[in-house]
Structures are given as C-alpha cells and as structure tokens.
C-alpha cells in the first residue's frame, strides 16, 4: 500500500511540475554542471528559435553572444572548484542570442538543485527587449507631448498678446 501511495504522489508531483514547466511563459532550461542542456520548455523555442531537439545535449552557450559564451565555461568551472556563486539565486539582466544571430536583453534567474549527487541548474529567462522597446517608445512620446505642450503654451501667449494688442488698438481708436 505505502509504496503504491508514494509512487502515486511522485507521479502526480511530476505531472504538476511538467504542467508548470511546459505552460510557463518564461523560457526555462535545465543544464548540468558542465553547461549541457538536459531539458527545455516550449517557451525556449519561441524565444530563441531552436527546437528542443536542436538544444538537448548541447552546451547552453549556444544561447549566448560569443563574448559571454567564452566566460561561461570558466564560470561553471570556477563554481565547481570553489563553490562560489555569482548569479545563482539573484536575477540579473544578460544578453541572449537567437538562432538567427540577433542579440536581445533578457532577465535571467538561476536555481541550483541536486539529484543523485549531481548538480543541476534551472535558468528561467524573460525577454525584456519588448519591455525596453515599449519604455523607449513611451519616453519618446512623453518628450513629444512635452514639446507640444510648450508649443501650445507659446501659441496661447502669442494669442493673448494679440488679443491685448487688439484691445489696446480698440481703446486708442476710441
């Protein structure tokens, strides 16, 4: 009974995990301590343009611009040797590289976990390019609005002066 029950809970837990993993809007990738991709969710393909089979078994560096990719192996090696972590547990903005080579900003948070004495990392990624683009557009439209307000205020002052001049001319004519 107890073993069957525990197994049922495990299967239910796995199904729940799988549902969250597969339906998340954020791109999620699991790598081993050497940086090799163990699993990815569907959002990774949407974000980076690689189908999961193209990524599994390959180094996660394929999703990074070269200047960052070069440092990644050294970083993982340093972590394995010293246990000192730089980014685990804190989110930060990094650059991602899509299959087509385009580079974009993303928020990355990394969690570390262990199974059978092995270390794994789960990276959760959110594309912030769209947000940054929207923020820039908002700044531009706010600036345009400010310019329009200044222009409008100027026209209103000119108009007031015109009315005042007309009133003075009217008084003089009287």
Q: Between these two residues, 172 and 50, which has the higher pLDDT value?
A: 50
CA–CA gap between residue 120 and residue 146 (Å, rounded): 51
pTM of the complete model: 0.68
Summarised one tens digit per residue, pLDDT across range 47-98 is 999 999 999 999 999 999 998 888 888 888 888 888 777 666 667 899 999 9
Q: Taking a C-beta distance cutoff of 8 angstroms, is the pair 97, 103 a contact?
A: yes
């Amino acid at each position: 009974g107890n073993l069957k029950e525990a197994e049922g809970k495990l299967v239910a837990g796995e199904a729940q995990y799988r549902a969250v993993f597969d339906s998340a809007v954020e791109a999620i990738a699991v790598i081993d301590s050497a940086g090799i991709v163990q699993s990815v969710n569907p959002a990774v393909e949407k974000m980076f343009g690689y189908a999961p089979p193209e990524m599994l078994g390959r180094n996660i560096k394929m999703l990074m611009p070269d200047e960052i990719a070069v440092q990644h192996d050294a970083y993982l090696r340093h972590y394995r040797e010293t246990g000192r972590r730089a980014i685990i547990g804190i989110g930060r903005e990094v650059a991602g590289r899509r299959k087509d080579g385009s580079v974009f900003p993303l928020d990355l948070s990394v969690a570390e976990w262990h199974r059978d004495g092995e270390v794994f990392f789960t990276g959760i990624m959110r594309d912030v390019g769209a947000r940054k683009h929207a923020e820039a557009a908002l700044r531009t439209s706010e600036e345009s609005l400010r310019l329009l307000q200044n222009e409008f205020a100027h026209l209103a002052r000119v108009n007031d002066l015109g009315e005042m001049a007309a009133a003075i001319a009217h008084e003089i004519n009287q």
